[in-house]
Amino acid sequence: MEPALAVKTVMIVVIVALCGAVPTTSPSHEELAKAQDYLSEFFSDVGVSAPSSVRRSSLDSFEDTLKKMQEYFGLEVSGQLDSNTLEVMARPRCGYTDVTRYGHFEGRPRWDKTVVTYRITDYTPDLSQSDVDVTIAKVLKLYSDIIPLDFQHIHSGTADIMIMFKARDHGDFAPFDGEGGVLAHAFSPGQGNGGDTHFDEDESWTLTSAGSNLFLVAAHEFGHALGLTHSQVKTALMYPTYQYVNTEGYMLPDDDRQGVQAIYGVRTTSSQPTTTNPQPTNKPVPTPQPRPEPDPETTSEPPPDRCNRNLIFDAATSIQRSLYFFKDGHFWKRSSSWDGISMHKIQSVWPGISRVDAAYEYKKRNTVIFFEGDHYWRIRGNAVLPGYPKPLSDFGLPPSVTKVDAAVYVSVTGRTLLFVQNRYWSYNERRGRMDGGYPKSIRRELPGIGSRVDAAFENRGYLYFSYGSSQTEYHYQRRRAIRTLLNYGWMDCN
Ligand code: 0ZB
Ligand code: ZN
Ligand code: ZN
């Protein structure tokens, strides 16, 4: 059995074959410039996302990136702009839109059983054993939630997937390379070392954004162990290069989900209960449910169930170092320092406020704004500031607006975005007034989040726009959706 990655050229050949060849002459200045553009467009993050210890200087990065490109296309890895390389670069990029996605190993090997066992024979000193156990179980659950396979942790004998942390030579003719470079590898499904997954002990393994995040690397490696090769979709887990993303509420990207489901089919039953937290699955996003209207007769609604996949938020905001999610007269507080999630009635903390439609934090003034219907409050700690509630018109919203759906303060611009149906306003906090030129269309100006928002918040530099039971993690300056999550992914459900 070969280590998984040796096989990746198989699917690349397909792409090359589908693109028409364009003859070229020997490299000129112009071609050099074009090659640079090409590499930065299609291979730029190869060097950048590598662990810092192997990050290259800009001087040798062109040659290195070129080598990657040549390896990728099955060309001679010369590091030179030879005519074959130029030819591939000159091809129309036909493959890049629809042909490129997940890949399978040759012969499409798979596990022909419904329970796949795994065993961790060598742990890393970088993390506690239980952190490793929990992380591996969580990662496998990403897969067992969406395909009809269950994973069973065994502690002796030979498991289907033998997992170990080892440095350098470790007996499989694919020695590791010290810190940086190759972080891990895995064998495609099969007998013997098939499915086995090895992590390079010379990396520093973490559960954070520092070093190599075990959750993300293991998720990638188990993709191989289940039969996936590398994908060319940049946002896919099986993209060849490691890039840290927030692992909280992590869901398998669509491309990878489609890739494993093409091998094993879609899970229809629920997965085996495990002792660790389930991760949200990436089913086609359920159609948003209409927001239940508050019953004016009842002042106390029953507490909502936070572990419902269809959980819809009324509002969400950071307050100090915690996230607050509002729903039906209650809120959940999720602390950044890990002490779990607590639920409270809004009234019990801020008397007089029964429901929150939208909320945002303005850290500079140490205040939080709550919107309900056609008025809003400014609060600090548990106290409502004097003079509140005030009508929405005091905010500069037109009288036609009788309710704000969502609000979020964007720290990079100093603006608060106020969402009302399919449009939004921008409020300049420093000047204390609305920006001109609004309202704007959500769909047009914030592409990737849909056309409505019912809760929004900022966390660790990303914006989260929620509508219905799902939400989009968003990079505001690039106006780009990063990934889709289910709301209840924040709720740490067992
Ligand atoms: N293993 O599955 C790999 O893809 C190897 C390279 C192979 C030639 C054996 C590897 O360790 N690649 C690095 C990696 O981090 C690439 C890098 O340093 O950026 N792979 C794990 C990975 C890749 C994408 C997302 C998450 C984790
Ligand atoms: Zn190995
Ligand atoms: Zn890989």
pLDDT at 337: 66
When pLDDT is cut at 50, 70 and 90, the band that residue 62 belongs to is confident
pLDDT at 43: 59
Q: Which atom of ligand 1 is nearest to 184's Cα?
A: 11
Q: How far is the CA of 330 from the centre of ligand 1 (A)?
A: 43
Give the Cα separation of 368 and 172 in Å (integer): 57
Residue identifier of the C-alpha nearest atom 16 of ligand 1: 241
Q: Convert the pLDDT of each residue in 355-367 to its tens digit.
A: 999 999 999 999 9
The closest alpha carbon to 220, from 45, 102, 65, 64, belongs to: 102
Domains and CATH numbers, the chain: 17-90 (1.10.101), 115-264 (3.40.390.10), 298-491 (2.110.10.10)
Average pLDDT of 181-188? 96
Q: How far is the CA of 193 from the centre of ligand 2 (A)?
A: 9
- Residue 418: beta bridge partners? 407, 425
Q: What is the CB < 6 Å shell around ligand 1?
A: 3-5, 49-50, 182-186, 216-217, 220-221, 224, 237, 239-242
Q: Convert the pLDDT of each residue in 279-295 to its tens digit.
A: 333 433 333 333 333 33
From 214-223, 283-292, 294-303, the region with the lowest mean pLDDT: 283-292
Give the Cα separation of 256 and 239 in Å (integer): 9
Is the pLDDT score of 97 beyond 60? Answer: no
Q: Which atom of ligand 1 is nearest to 239's Cα?
A: 24
Check if 87 is active-site. Answer: no
* DSSP sequence for 371-440: EETTEEEEEETTEEPTT-SEEGGGGT--TT-----EEEEETTTTEEEEEETTEEEEEETTTTEEPTT--E
pLDDT at 73: 63
Q: Which ligand is nearest to the CA of 172?
A: 2
In the chain, how long is the greatest CA-to-CA distance?
A: 80
Give the Cα separation of 238 and 227 in Å (integer): 11
Q: How far is the CA of 190 from the centre of ligand 1 (A)?
A: 21
Share of the chain above pLDDT 70, in %: 79
Catalytic residue among 179, 221, 458, 473: 221
Q: How distant is the alpha carbon of residue 345 from its chain centre?
A: 31
Q: How distant is the alpha carbon of residue 126 from its chain centre?
A: 24
